[in-house]
Chains A and B, each alone.
Chain A
Amino acid sequence: MAQLLEVESLSLSFGGITALSDVSTIVQEGSITAVIGPNGAGKTSFFNVISGFYRPTSGTVRFDGCDILALPANARSQRGIARTFQNIALFNGMTVLENIKLGAHAQLRTNVFSASLYLGWARREEEDLTRRIDDEVISFLDLTAIRDRSIEGLPYGLQKRVELARALAMRPRLLMVDEPFAGMNNSEKAAMAQYIRRSVREWGATVLLIDHDMEMIMGLSDQVVVLNFGRMIATGNPDAVRKDPAVIDAYLGTE
């Protein structure tokens, strides 16, 4: 298996506050890696550095062998890094289909200026895109029934699924999901876990995920990275991490 993402001694601070310090990890292609840790441990900061919203103080991030830290966020998504957000960041006032279509924006060859003129090939590309999304993404995530509905008013679990659909429409090589199981009931969780597994198996995606649900994480991931106060306190397979004294200490405290 090739190494898709290599993070080396990554540090990030805002003024005097250290959000991440000396975090290193390697994500193998085709695997599922979970990032866990108590609130404020730096999990989302870690995601934001990889997707390009924060610039780290030091360290390197290599994606598929190339240093990506100099690239702006939109260029990173064009290379195949997609993500979902903790607080569901769907575009309100748009339909489910429009939201998902935006995920595929990065892959189209026509840019917004040529697409504005709506020349023949931009239109063809657009039609192909809609068909592709219908065939692949919408049916895969069982969203056919709500395809043309507005995002507002959809139940939370469905919104999370639309967000995953939008990320998958990007045909990502690295799919980063921020708290996919938060606020879901058990059957929704099971369905979401199934979608994530199939994203790896059928879409060839590599998954990096954040969540607090230990049961789901232990069942789903190949590798677990544990952060606490910005430091990486443990890494390894789920069983090893579960037994790690530093992890038990971080979650439960010592006497």
Chain B
Amino acid sequence: MHQILEFSIIGLASGSVYVLAALGFVIIFKSSSVFNFALGEMMMIAAYLCFATTVQMQLGWQAGVLVAVVGSVLIALAVERTMLQPLLGKPVIVLVMVTLGVGSIMRGLAGLVWGPDIVQLPDFLPRAPVFIGDVLIPGRLAWGSLVVGLIAGAFMAYYHFSRAGLAIRATSSDQVTAESMGINIRQIFSLTWAITGVLVAASGIILGALNGITPTLGLVALNVLAVVMLSGLTSVGGVVVAGLFIGWVETMVGAYLGAAWQNFVPYLVVLLVMTVKPTGLFGERRIERI
């Protein structure tokens, strides 16, 4: 029993990293229907930016985090402004393919600049294990998920209570009406990309700190995709539940059935849910009046 509890907490903690990235995915998808396939690569680039500043330039981890966040936001805005905005009004699939291309370019560039081998961020998360009662949690994971929780909480507050959050929600709900309210929806698209830049930077750095960084770090986005599908693409609150759940399933399966199972059981769960409830657990069914 004690062991199950321990694995469960570890699972939830590792799921929390998915939550951040998945929030970044959902906020773009909700406002502009663009499926952002470059999400994982954006995480990877942010992690490398942090590595370059902290380790290669020896500037300390605070500078590393700052450079990664600012850089990630600038890259997100550049992609959105130069590649996606000119294509607005084209079929969404075109925009989706652009994100796929941008992702491969990022992966290639990272390979050229930093090479294929794994690099490590310095330990800026405390290593000492944290005990809840007599349940042990590895220190980096505990602190990492605490940071994630704070960022996700801040994001939720922003999304639900600020005026910009209100404008984003309005754009997600109905673009035409939002525009007639005087909301500049192009500005909203840029804003959602900028927010995603912050979220992926945070999740990329934490993931890099936990597992090291390689150019293929972005593949974790496949798990994020599973999270997003499970929650139903459009639910901000649902992503939190689904992210924690996928992390938990993954860890439990890995612990009791072995690593081979770990790779596909989460997807199996997603598949099962999708066959029963195609809109995902928390997805909304949009009814178009014609």
Contacts and interface: CB of A to CB of B under 8 A. Distances in A.
Interface of A: 51-53, 72-74, 77-78, 82-83, 85, 87, 89-94, 98, 101-103, 105-108, 110-113, 115-116, 118, 122, 126, 166, 170
A90 B185 CA distance: 17
17 contacts: A53-B180, A73-B179, A74-B182, A74-B183, A83-B180, A89-B174, A90-B177, A91-B169, A91-B177, A93-B169, A94-B170, A102-B170, A105-B181, A108-B163, A112-B184, A112-B188, A122-B163
A94 B167 contact: no
Nearest to A118: B162
B191 interface: yes
Contacts of B182: 74, 77-78, 105-107, 170
A103 B191 contact: no
B110 to A, nearest CB: 29
Given A113-B191, A118-B162, A91 B174 contact: yes
Given A53-B180, A73-B180, A112-B167, 5 more contacts: A91-B169, A106-B183, A112-B164, A112-B188, A115-B162
Interface in B253-271: none
Contacts of B191: 112-113, 116
Contacts of B289: 87
Given A77-B181, A106-B182, A112 B169 contact: no
Contacts of B188: 112
A92 B214 CA distance: 43
A51 B176 CA distance: 10
Nearest to B168: A112
A89 B173 CA distance: 10
B75 to A, nearest CB: 17
Contacts of A111: 184, 187
A85 to B, nearest CB: 7
A77 to B, nearest CB: 4
Interface in B35-89: none
A202 B219 CA distance: 60
Nearest to A116: B164
A33 B85 CA distance: 38
Nearest to A110: B163
B187 A91 contact: no
B124 interface: no
- Interface residues on chain B, size class: 20 to 34
B184 to A, nearest CB: 5
B163 A94 contact: no
B279 to A, nearest CB: 15
Contacts of A89: 174, 176-177
Given A78-B182, A112-B188, A112-B191, A126 B163 contact: yes
A17 B176 CA distance: 23
Contacts of B170: 91, 94, 102
Interface in B132-189: 158, 162-164, 166-170, 173-174, 176-185, 187-188
Given A77-B181, A112-B191, A170-B182, A91 B167 contact: no
Contact of A102 (B162, B166, B176, B184): B166
Contacts of B174: 89, 91
Contacts of B176: 53, 73, 89
A100 to B, nearest CB: 10
A205 B178 CA distance: 21
A102 B185 contact: no
Contacts of B183: 74, 102, 105-106, 112
Contact of A91 (B163, B164, B173, B185): B173
Contacts of B184: 74, 111-112
Given A74-B184, A74-B185, A105-B182, A116 B177 contact: no
A169 to B, nearest CB: 9
Contacts of B169: 91, 93-94
A166 B181 CA distance: 9
Contacts of A85: 177
